[in-house]
Chains A and B, each alone.
Chain A
Amino acid sequence: MNALSATPSTNAIELAALRSDRFRIEREADWQRLEAIVTRMEKGRLRRIPDEDLLALPGLYRTVASSLSIARETSLDAATLAYLEALVQRAWFVVYGPRSSLTEWLRGFLGGGWSAAVRGIWLDIVVALAVMVAGVVVGWLLVSHDPEWYFALMSREMAGPRVPGASPEALRATLFGDSKQEGMSVFAAKLFSNNAQVSILAFALGFAFGIPTLLLLVHNLALLGAMAWLYHGAGLLTDFAGWICVHGTTELFAILLAGAAGLHIGRAIAFPGERPILQASAEAGRRAALVMAGVVLMLVVAALLEGFARQLVDDTFGRFAIGGFMLAGWCAYFFAFGRGAGRRP
C-alpha cells in the first residue's frame, strides 16, 4: 500500500525480462498513489486527504486509465489487468461520483436549473392545471348536487365546524380571528410534513403512467371545490378565497408542479417516442426530480405562510395582497428568470 515502496529502482527495471513488466514497474508508483487516494476517499476521510492529492486525482485517473488501455494491448499478465480494471472502476466511481459540494449544486439549482426544469415540463403543467381546475369544478358540482358528498371528500373530525348547514357566523370564525392562537409553529411544521409527503406521492405515482397522479390531484382539489361551495352558501366566498390565497398560491402551485412532474414521467414511460424507453424515462426522471427538489422548498414557504402570515394578517385584502405577490413572484422566477443563462437540466 505504501507508495514509496513501489518506486522503481533502475535495477529492477533493467532486471525485468519482459517489456510489459518494465511497463508495469515504471508506472506502479502512479497506480499505488491513485489507489491510496481512492481508498481514503472510499473510507470517507475526505478532510484528511492533502490538497495536492485531490488536485492530482483527475490526472492520475486518466494516467491509470491510459495504462489500462496500453496494458490491454501489450500485456498478458492477467493479475495486473484485473487490478487495473478494478482500480480504474473505483477511481471512476470517485471522479464521476456526485459533486461533493452541495452549495455548488444549490447555486446551479436556484440560479437557473430549477426554473429551466419547470419550463421543460410546461406541457405537463398545462395538463395538470386543467385537471386541477376540473377537480375544483367537480367537487363544487358534486356537493351542490348532494351535500352528503361533502363527507365523502372530507372526514368529520377534519371538517370541524365547517359542515353543510353551519351558520355564516360559525364559518366566518374559521376564517378570521386566529391571530392570538398558540401553537401556530407546530401547525406549520405538521402542514409542511404532510403536504410534502402528498406531493412526493403525487410525483412517485407518475410511475404508473401518470394516471394515479391525476386522480390524486382531482381528489385533493375536489375537496377545495366542496369547501368553496360551502362558504359560497354563506356568502363568504371572497373571504374564503383570501384565506386560501395566502399560502394557496404557493402550496397549490407546488402541488401543481409535483403533479406535472409525475405526469412528465408517466408520459415518458407511456410514450417514449424515438428514444429507448429506459433512456426516455431516465431523462424525464432527472428533470422531474429537479422540479421536485424545488417543490419541497416551495412547501416550506407555503407552510410558513399558512402557519404565520395567515394568522397574523386578519383581513381579506391583505391576504390577497400576500397571495398575489407570491404568485407573481413564482411565475416571474419560473418563466422569466434565467432564460438562456440557465443550464439544461
Chain B
Amino acid sequence: MSIATMRRARLRKERVLVTPEGISLPVTVAGAGARLGALILDLLIILLLMIGTTLALAQIAGGAGEFVREAGGNGPGAKAMQFLMIVWIIIMFLFRNAYFLYFELGPRGATPGKRLAGIRIAARDGGRLTAEMVIARNLLRDIELFLPIPLIMMAGADSGMAWLAATGWFAIFMLFPLFNRDRLRAGDVIAGSWVLERPRRKLEAAMSLHGERAAGAAAQDTAAAEQSPLARRYRFEEAELAVYGEFELQSLERVLRDGREEAIETVYQTIAAKIGREDGWGDERRFLSDYYTQLRARLEAGMRMGRRKADKHSEG
C-alpha cells in the first residue's frame, strides 16, 4: 500500500466530535481489523477463563465426591456438590454476559482485547458514556455472537438449510460494521456508542525553541545570553517571509522534525531559490530553523490580527 492510499484510508476514518464544552476534537474511528482482533482476543480470554474455572471446580468437586462416598451419599458432601454446581452455573452466566460489561464500565472503557488493540468505546454524541449504553451494546452481543455460534456448531455443515440460516445470520451481524461509515455494530446502533482509536502522543519540543533553549542553558551564567551568537544567525526580510503560508510552514516543521539530511537539503534549495538567498550554504539546518521561527512569528502575528494565510497561493 502506498503512502497516499494509507493517508486516504486514514482520512476516511477521521471524524470531528464536539465535547460538552463546545470544543471540536478530531477522532479516529477504529478499523474493522482492530475490532475483529479485539473480539477474537476477548473470546479467547473468556474461553480460557471458562475452561480454567471448570477445571478448578471439577478439582474441588473430585475431593468432595470422595467425601460423599465416605459419608454415604446424603451428608454435607452432597450439599457441597450442590453448592459447587450453583457456583459453576452462575460463573458461566457471568462470563458470558458480564465480562464485556465489567471491563467496558471501568474507567478505561475497553475490554482487555480492545486495550491490546488500542481502541475503546465512547459516546457518539460527545457526552458521557453511561452505564445504560454499555449495557445496551453488550446485550445485543447475544444475538450477534452467542446465539448463532452454537447454532452453527449444532447444525453442522451437513444439515443444509439450518446451517445456512445460522451462518447467514452470523454473517449479517458480523459484517454489519462494514456497511456503515462509523463501523457501528448492531449494539452500537442501539446504544448510541462507537469505538474509537486511543490517541497517544508525546509532547515534542517546540521547533522554534531548540536554539534558544540550548543557548540559554549554555549561557545561563553569562549575562549576555541574548547576545549569544547562536541565538539568531539569519535574519529574513518581510518580503522574504511573505511568500509562504501555513501549509508550507507545517511541511517545513515536519521536515525539520524528521531531520533527514537529503530532505533538508532539498527544502533548503527550494526556499533559497525562491527568496533568492545563498548565505545558508553548508548550514542548511540552522538556516531553515531560523526561517521557520521567523515565518511562524510573522504568520502568528497575522493570526492575532485576524489575517490568515493558508498557503503560498493565498493573499495575506
Using CB atoms and an 8 Å cutoff, list the residues of chain A in contact with chain B: 11-12, 15-21, 24-25, 28, 31-32, 35, 41-42, 44, 46, 62, 65, 68-69, 73-80, 82-83, 85-90, 92-94, 96-100, 102, 105, 182-183, 185-186, 188-190, 192-193, 196-197, 200-201, 203-205, 207, 265, 278-279, 281-290, 292-293, 345
Q: A19-B300, A65-B19 are in contact. Are A78 and B250 (CB under 8 A)?
A: yes
New A-B contacts (19) at CB < 8 Å, excluding given A85-B26, A96-B20: A11-B225, A15-B215, A17-B208, A18-B300, A21-B208, A28-B203, A65-B23, A69-B23, A78-B253, A79-B204, A80-B203, A90-B200, A188-B86, A192-B93, A196-B97, A200-B97, A204-B147, A279-B192, A285-B191
17 A-B pairs within 8 Å (CB atoms) are namely A21-B208, A83-B203, A85-B25, A86-B200, A89-B199, A96-B126, A182-B78, A188-B86, A189-B86, A190-B89, A200-B97, A284-B190, A285-B190, A286-B133, A290-B132, A290-B135, A292-B139
Verify B293–A96 contact, CB threshold 8 A.
Answer: no
Report how far A207 CA is from B147 CA in the complex, Å. Answer: 14
Of B37-45, B46-54, B102-110, B275-283, the one with at least 4 CB within 8 A of chain A: B102-110
Q: Which residue of B lies closest to A9 (CB)?
A: B216
Q: Which residues of B contact A93 (CB under 8 A)?
A: 109, 120, 122, 198
Which among B74, B143, B200 is the interface contact of A204 at CB below 8 angstroms? B143
Verify B140–A207 contact, CB threshold 8 A.
Answer: yes
Q: Which residues of A contact B74 (CB under 8 A)?
A: 182
**Interface of B: prevailing SS:** helix
B96-137: which have CB < 8 Å to A? 97, 104-109, 120, 122-124, 126-136
Which among A15, A76, A92, A289 is the interface contact of B300 at CB below 8 angstroms? A76
Report how far A17 CA is from B78 CA in the complex, Å. Answer: 81
Report how far A41 CA is from B107 CA in the complex, Å. Answer: 7
Most buried by B among A46, A75, A86: A86
Report how far A102 CA is from B212 CA in the complex, Å. Answer: 51
Verify B300–A75 contact, CB threshold 8 A.
Answer: yes
Verify B206–A96 contact, CB threshold 8 A.
Answer: no
Q: Which residue of A lies closest to B92 (CB)?
A: A193
Q: Which residues of B contact A102 (CB under 8 A)?
A: 105
Answer whether residue B296 sits at the interface, using C-beta atoms and an 8 A cutoff.
Answer: yes
Answer whether residue B171 sits at the interface, using C-beta atoms and an 8 A cutoff.
Answer: no
Report how far A286 CA is from B190 CA in the complex, Å. Answer: 7
Verify A183–B82 contact, CB threshold 8 A.
Answer: yes
Shortest beta-carbon distance, A204 to chain B, in Å?
Answer: 4
Answer whether residue B21 sits at the interface, using C-beta atoms and an 8 A cutoff.
Answer: yes
Verify A32–B208 contact, CB threshold 8 A.
Answer: no
B211-242: which have CB < 8 Å to A? 212-213, 215-216, 220, 225-226, 232
Using CB atoms and an 8 Å cutoff, list the residues of chain B in contact with chain A: 19-21, 23, 25-27, 74, 78, 82-83, 85-86, 89-90, 92-93, 97, 104-109, 120, 122-124, 126-136, 139-140, 142-143, 147, 186, 189-192, 198-204, 206-209, 212-213, 215-216, 220, 225-226, 232, 246, 249-250, 253-254, 257, 293, 296-297, 299-300, 303-304
Q: Which residues of A contact B132 (CB under 8 A)?
A: 286-287, 289-290, 345
Report how far A17 CA is from B292 CA in the complex, Å. Answer: 12
Verify A76–B303 contact, CB threshold 8 A.
Answer: yes
* A-B residue pair count with CB separations less than 8 angstroms: 226
Q: Which residue of B lies closest to A206 (CB)?
A: B190
Q: Which residues of B contact A24 (CB under 8 A)?
A: 206
Shortest beta-carbon distance, A278 to chain B, in Å?
Answer: 6
Q: Which residue of A lies closest to B295 (CB)?
A: A76
Verify A288–B136 contact, CB threshold 8 A.
Answer: yes
Q: Which residues of B contact A92 (CB under 8 A)?
A: 19, 25
Shortest beta-carbon distance, B23 to chain A, in Å?
Answer: 5
Q: Which residue of B lies closest to A295 (CB)?
A: B139
Verify B106–A207 contact, CB threshold 8 A.
Answer: no
Q: Which residue of A lies closest to B191 (CB)?
A: A285
Report how far A291 CA is from B266 CA in the complex, Å. Answer: 65
Q: Which residues of B contact A182 (CB under 8 A)?
A: 74, 78, 82
Verify A76–B304 contact, CB threshold 8 A.
Answer: no
Which among B128, B131, B209, B300 is the interface contact of A74 at CB below 8 angstroms? B300
Which among A65, A193, A281 is the interface contact of B189 at CB below 8 angstroms? A281
Verify B19–A286 contact, CB threshold 8 A.
Answer: no
Report how far A12 CA is from B23 CA in the complex, Å. Answer: 30
Which among A65, A97, A197 is the interface contact of B129 at CB below 8 angstroms? A97
Which among B83, B140, B201, B212 is the interface contact of A83 at CB below 8 angstroms? B201
Report how far A72 CA is from B211 CA in the complex, Å. Answer: 24
Shortest beta-carbon distance, A116 to chain B, in Å?
Answer: 12
Q: Which residues of B contact A190 (CB under 8 A)?
A: 89
Shortest beta-carbon distance, A255 to chain B, in Å?
Answer: 15
Verify A76–B23 contact, CB threshold 8 A.
Answer: no
Report how far A51 CA is from B207 CA in the complex, Å. Answer: 36
